[in-house]
Structure 1
């Protein structure tokens, strides 16, 4: 949390990758809950790993670095 606060306070652009949209939704909820930041522009990462991750419980494709999104300051 401290690192995210420092990055956003200095105005440094913050881009994050994750493996699926469900994980992004959890990240978004956590950032808002702690008033750390706001997730923007979650979309497919064109530079993701081409190998699908085994995740049968999710019932949708998961890729290492599959989703990229930016985080903006909460204010």
Structure 2
């Protein structure tokens, strides 16, 4: 595979990856709380949709969202 990146870019890449992983965990926890407070399946689906936690929502590891422009 490719060589490991060193220096500030590797720190940035690790920090970004950690932040995205944390966001995935937080979204999962939020979905569990919403499901626990919902009155029925339809209520749960609507709440998750309103909050952007549904399966159709843009995923945090979507390559378009993870794009970082060139460093000048």
TM over 0.5: no
TM-score, normalising length: structure 1: 0.27
Which structure is higher in strand share? 1
Judging by fraction of residues, say which structure has more helix. 2
Greater Rg, structure 1 or structure 2? 2
Highest RCO, 1 vs 2 (Cα 8 Å, sep ≥ 6): 1
Q: TM-score, normalised by structure 2?
A: 0.27
